[in-house]
Amino acid sequence: MPKQSVPREPAEIAPKLVEITDDVLFADVWERPGLSPRDRSLVTVSVLAALYRGEQLGYHLAVALDNGLSVEELSEAITHLAFYAGWPNAMSAVTRLKKIADDRATA
């Protein structure tokens, strides 16, 4: 898994938030041995979709693909969570996934 980090723009107004996100979330929590990066990505994408956190979802869908999840697996997870987290959340997530998949296919 490539090393994750917060984009540098938020550091201009919230340097401490960026620092602890990089040092605690990405350098510690994401690196713990209890779950693989692939599994962590599946959990993260599912929670972000369920909570309708679109601002973070696109980034983490791309990370999930980089961590070995397929578009089909992510689509299946989103379909499954539609019945628990709500149809609008799932439709928004799958729309975002399609855009990312299409962008990657043309890149």
pLDDT at residue 95 tops 70: yes
Please name the residue that has the structure tokens 């979709």. Answer: 49
Across the chain, what does the average pLDDT equal? 94
**Long-range contacts of range 39-43, CB-CB < 8 Å, 24 or more positions apart?**
40/67, 41/67, 41/69, 42/69, 42/73, 42/74, 42/77
The pLDDT, as a whole number, for residue 1 is 56
> Can you tell me the mean pLDDT for 4-22?
87
pLDDT confidence band for 107 (50 / 70 / 90): confident
Tell me the percentage of the chain whose pLDDT exceeds 70: 98
pLDDT at residue 6 tops 80: no
In the structure encoding, which two tokens stand for residue 100, read together? 């990312």
